[in-house]
Amino acid sequence: MFFYRSVLFLSLLFTARSLNQDGLFLQRVKLGLSDPAHSLSSWNERDDTPCNWYGITCDNSTHRVSSVDLSSSELMGPFPNFLCRLPFLTSINLMNNSINSSLTDDIATCKNLESLDLSANLLVGSIPASLSELSNLKLLNLASNNFSGAIPAKFGQFQKLEWISLAGNLLTGSIQSELGNISTLQHLLVGYNLYAPSRIPSQFGNLSNLVELWLANCNLVGPIPESLSKLTRLSNLDFSLNRLTGSIPSWLTGLKNIEQIELYQNFLSGELPLGFSNLTMLRRFDASTNHLTGTIPIQLAQLELESLNLFENRLVGTLPEGIAKSPNLYELKLFNNELTGELPSQLGLNSPLKWLDVSYNGFSGNIPGSLCAKGELEDLILIYNSFSGEIPESLGKCDSLGRVRLRNNRFTGIVPEQFWGLPQVYLFELEENSFSGKVSSRIASAYILSVLKISKNQFSGSLPMEIGYLGKLIEFSASDNMFTGPIPGSLVNLSTLSMLVLEDNELSGGLPHGIQGWKSLNELNLANNKLSGQIPDEIGSLQALNYLDLSGNYFSGKIPTQLEDLNLNQLNLSNNMLSGAIPPFYAKEMYRSSFMGNPGLCGDLKDLCPQEGDSRKQSYLWILRSTFILAAMVFVVGVVWFYFKYQNFKKEKEVITISKWRSFHKIGFSEFEILDFLKEDNVIGSGASGKVYKAVLSNGETVAVKKLSGESRKDNTNHSSEKDEFEAEVETLGRIRHKNIVRLWCCCNTADCKLLAPAAILHQVFHLCPYELLIRNPEFGEKDLVKWVCATLDQNGMDHVVDPKLDSRYRDEISKILEIGLRCTTAFPIGRPSMRLVVKMLQEAGGMGHKPEADKNDEKPSPCYNEEVSDQGSLV
Ligand SMILES: *[C@@H]1O[C@H](CO)[C@@H](O)[C@H](O)[C@H]1NC(C)=O
Ligand SMILES: *[C@@H]1O[C@H](CO)[C@@H](O)[C@H](O)[C@H]1NC(C)=O
Ligand SMILES: *[C@@H]1O[C@H](CO)[C@@H](O)[C@H](O)[C@H]1NC(C)=O
Ligand SMILES: *[C@@H]1O[C@H](CO)[C@@H](O)[C@H](O)[C@H]1NC(C)=O
Ligand SMILES: *[C@@H]1O[C@H](CO)[C@@H](O)[C@H](O)[C@H]1NC(C)=O
Ligand SMILES: *[C@@H]1O[C@H](CO)[C@@H](O)[C@H](O)[C@H]1NC(C)=O
Ligand SMILES: *[C@@H]1O[C@H](CO)[C@@H](O)[C@H](O)[C@H]1NC(C)=O
Ligand SMILES: *[C@@H]1O[C@H](CO)[C@@H](O)[C@H](O)[C@H]1NC(C)=O
Ligand SMILES: *[C@@H]1O[C@H](CO)[C@@H](O)[C@H](O)[C@H]1NC(C)=O
């Protein structure tokens, strides 16, 4: 027994002794790290050398460690300074771990280091200036950490550095002009930091070996310096997301090796330079969201571009034909300019065109039949132009199409059969054109369709029952057409349907059986058709319903009392043949216009129905008489009111008088009712601009009232600009009918205060969400905003979503608010936070320091809801 033990002991001692010095240092490295994924399990003390360990490379002849690559190994803990004890180490790669310390000057003892990659970790503190003492260093990657402070000026002393990335940190100060001293530099990537406003250092023009210059989101101001014209080896130039002014310099067209130019989201003005013809390598050009004027140069369109983005400028003229010859063009986004003329007739014939968006221009002519010749077209977005003619038959074979948006053009004719049934289409928008003919039953094959909008056309025939097979349909609007026949019974199977708008057609028959299947239905508008039969009691089970308009039909029978189970924002049963009593909850004066024009309807609302026994003549007389009396009363009251008002005005009494009251939607309460609720007890939130009160009105509705604090100022100029702002906001909010935005019901403007009364719509769930306020508008679609945000967030990170006008120092707050916004727009109301929680979250977001995100492509899981219901963000 004893013998056995000692043998074991001896053998352990023996193996431990055999590990060489490099191995022993690496064991110390291992001890300092936490390794939950057991990435370092092969780092075995019993080996002679570490040369076969995971991540270790040795020199073939000396067997000394030359490289340590522990990237993406889920390691945690401080930076392992013991690595620098390895005398022949030339490369350290700890990319994508959780190294969470700061870097110390000890790093300078890694003196043979040629490559140091610590990107995507949790490193904090300042960047040690001593790094520049590593005279052999060629690559330094510290991107995507939380380094703060300024870039060390000593970095100008690097001897051999070719590649430096400090992108995506919390660096402040300005971009060091000393970096322009590193003549060996080929890649300079320092974007996405928190620098103070500064100009592009003209010294960068000295970096004659530079291939890549990435200064996106660096708070750059002023013009692009002339000295950069010397960077003739440049292949990738990215100045996007800054505040650069001046014009796009003409010397840019002399950078003959350039492949990619990103200038989007700046304040560049003037015309695009002409001489692009020498840039034969240019593949991507993006100068969108600037103030560019003039035309698209013919030379630019003659290059072999893969991607051309010039959206959101003020460009005029036509799209040069030459663009159609570019063999690899897959992305063409020109929306929101003032472009005219026709699209090149061969567009798409020679290239794998994938994303075409020329919305909001003055384009005319036909859709080129070749757009999908290579079978790659996913986005066909032509909204708000003057395109005409028919949809080419060839597009019916374009199975790759995902978004078809042709709204507001002058298209005519019959939509090709196959075009209705494209298998990948999820957004299909033909609104506001002059299309005719039927909706084809082939629509059944568009089985992932979630938004189908064909309103305001001249479609006719009956709606195919196949629409009811589209199990992912969320929104179907076909109003203002000439549809006849019944509402297909199959529609009740659409449990995700949120919006069904079929008003102003000639539909007949009754509501289909089984409408309780519309579990998500939010808006049902069947007004002005020829529908008949009873309104089924099941209507009361549509828990999500808040907009119900069945006016202008032939519905008969009793109004189901179950309507009282709903929280309706809008109800209209006017102009039908309904009879019997009005459900007690609705039998109130303010709902009068919801029930008018139903001859058989009676109830507590006595004068709504004709008085029994009265002859027609008598009732007319009665109406005439009462109108006269009413008018007289109004006159007298008016005169008296005016008198008192005038007296008050003269005395300048300190009472709240409503000088201006405007309602934007039909409301069932008066301003005076609201005033009663402006007490401390009812405060549910407050902000810089005033307090928000909860008001429960006599009609049972709950609204939020915002009282904007504005001292009555005597200073006239000040007052008028403030007033303008208020007026402007009110105008906008009042006009918007977007369900993601709190609906502004009304406002009043008094000498002492300003009140806004947005609707609060469902129970205590209060949808005061910051939504749209943050977002930059990519292509002006109103309905798929949430989807767009989610998709862009996932693919490109927050900066592609957030309005660039927002101060990037508040990135973190913005990100939090964005998150809150997304939670508020979860498809189903039940998943959304209550107002109380929203307020809490907003307060928390507001209380944070001004720190940005760690990385542009931050991979934080977004709270976006799942794909099945994601195509529509407009559910309330
Ligand atoms: C070292 O040896 C390995 C395997 O024998 C070989 O693949 C590698 O190319 C060698 N490296 C050098 C630098 O000689
Ligand atoms: C980062 O590491 C994790 C864990 O090993 C891995 O799943 C992920 O793909 C890595 N990410 C990148 C960008 O390499
Ligand atoms: C770094 O990570 C380790 C392991 O997760 C943890 O124990 C330590 O507290 C962290 N240190 C800091 C400064 O966050
Ligand atoms: C510029 O580079 C030279 C040579 O590499 C070096 O001697 C000098 O100190 C550097 N200047 C700055 C300001 O970094
Ligand atoms: C670097 O550029 C600046 C300004 O463009 C210039 O004044 C300076 O002489 C240049 N330095 C070197 C070493 O070329
Ligand atoms: C294109 O390059 C040629 C030859 O280098 C040169 O002569 C010409 O001026 C260049 N054109 C433009 C528009 O820069
Ligand atoms: C609804 O769907 C079920 C199951 O797919 C089907 O059996 C039924 O016929 C459908 N109802 C209508 C009215 O189409
Ligand atoms: C209901 O519709 C009629 C027209 O059919 C309209 O006059 C009335 O104002 C509407 N009522 C409401 C509450 O929208
Ligand atoms: C890095 O900075 C971000 C943004 O300020 C912050 O949310 C995060 O907690 C920081 N991480 C570390 C490890 O300091």
Among 711, 856, 852, 727, which Cα is nearest to 793's? 856
Question: What percentage of the chain has pLDDT greater than the value 70?
Answer: 69
CA 140 to chain centre: 34
Distance from C-alpha of 81 to C-alpha of 68, rounded to nearest angstrom: 13
Tell me the three state secondary structure of residue 86: coil
Choose among 806, 840, 850, 824: nearest CA to 770.
824
Q: Is the pTM for the entire model greater than 0.75?
A: no
- Residue in this structure with the two tokens 């074991």, named with its chain if needed: 8
Q: Is the pLDDT of residue 724 over 90?
A: no
Give per-residue pLDDT as tens, 372-387: 999 999 999 999 999 9
Query: Where residue 838 falls among pLDDT bands split at 50, 70, 90?
Result: low
- Paired residues of 705 in beta bridges: 693
Determine the average pLDDT of the residues in 634-651: 50
Band (637; pLDDT cuts 50, 70, 90): low
Sign of the CA dihedral with 698 first, then 704, 705, and 707 last: positive
pLDDT tops 90 at residue 615: no
pLDDT digits 0-9 by tens, 278-300: 999 999 999 999 999 999 999 99
pLDDT at 82 over 90: yes
Residue 337 has pLDDT above 60, yes or no: yes
Task: Determine the pLDDT at residue 79.
Answer: 97
- C-alpha 80/C-alpha 75 separation (Å) is 11
Per-residue pLDDT of 3-29, as tens digits, reads 444 444 444 444 445 889 999 999 999
d(CA 134, CA 138): 9
Q: What pLDDT is stored for residue 812 in this prediction? A: 72
Rounded mean pLDDT of the chain? Answer: 80
Q: Report the b/e string of 293-311 with b at 16+ CB within 10 A.
A: bebbbebbbbbebbbbbbb
Annotated binding site for ATP: 707
CA 254 to ligand 6: nearest atom: 14
The pLDDT, as a whole number, for residue 849 is 35
Encode pLDDT of 521-553 as tens digits: 999 999 999 999 999 999 999 999 999 999 999
Pairwise pLDDT comparison (400 vs 780), residue with the higher score: 400
Average pLDDT over residues 724-753: 44
Q: Tell me the CA–centroid distance for residue 613 and ligand 7, in Å.
A: 50
pLDDT for 2 beyond 80: no
The whole-number pLDDT of residue 682 equals 73
pLDDT of residue 393 exceeding 90: yes
Cα gap 600→593, rounded to integer Å: 15
Residue 476 pLDDT: 98
Rg (CA), the chain: 34
- pLDDT of res. 606: 59
pLDDT in tens, 503-522: 999 999 999 999 999 999 99
| Between residues 605 and 867, the one the model is more confident about | 605
Q: 419-478, pLDDT tens digit by residue?
A: 999 999 999 999 999 999 999 999 999 999 999 999 999 999 999 999 999 999 999 999
CA gap 324, 371 in Å, rounded: 10
* pLDDT value, residue 4: 46
Task: Check whether 860 has a pLDDT greater than 70.
Answer: no
C-alpha of residue 706 to centroid of ligand 4, in Å: 60
- Domains along the chain? 245-258+268-365+376-387 (3.80.10.10), 427-607 (3.80.10.10), 615-632+766-858 (no CATH), 641-760 (3.30.200.20)
Determine the residue of 199, 203, 208 to mutate for testing ligand 5's pocket, defined as the one with the most ligand atoms within 8 A of the Cβ atom. Answer: 203
**How does strand 307-309 pair with strand 458-462?**
unpaired
Average pLDDT over every residue of 317-325: 95
345 pLDDT above the threshold of 90: yes
426 phi, psi to nearest 5 deg: -115, -15
Higher pLDDT, residue 412 or 773: 412
Q: Within 6 Å (CB) of ligand 8, which residues are found? A: 551-552, 572, 574-575, 593-594, 666
- Cα dihedral 804, 806, 808, 812 sign: negative
Nearest CA to ligand 5 atom 3: 203
For residue 318, the model assigns a pLDDT of 97
The ligand 4 atom at the shortest distance from the C-alpha of residue 154 is 14
Give the model's confidence band at 654: pLDDT under 50 very low, under 70 low, under 90 confident, else very high.
Answer: very low
| Residue 223 burial (10 A CB sphere; 0-12, 13-18, 19+) | middle
Per-residue pLDDT at 862: 33
Query: What is the rounded distance in angstroms from the CA atom of residue 44 to the CA atom of residue 300?
Result: 60
pLDDT tens-digit series, residues 841-853: 666 665 443 333 3
What pLDDT band is residue 643 in, cutting at 50, 70 and 90?
low
Ligand closest to the CA atom of residue 517: 7
The answer, yes or no, to whether residue 222 has pLDDT greater than 70, is: yes
What's the pLDDT at 760? 84
> Could you tell which of 504, 555, 570, 572 is best to mutate to test the pocket of ligand 8, judged by most ligand atoms within 8 Å of the CB?
572
CB 357 within 8 A of CB 342: no
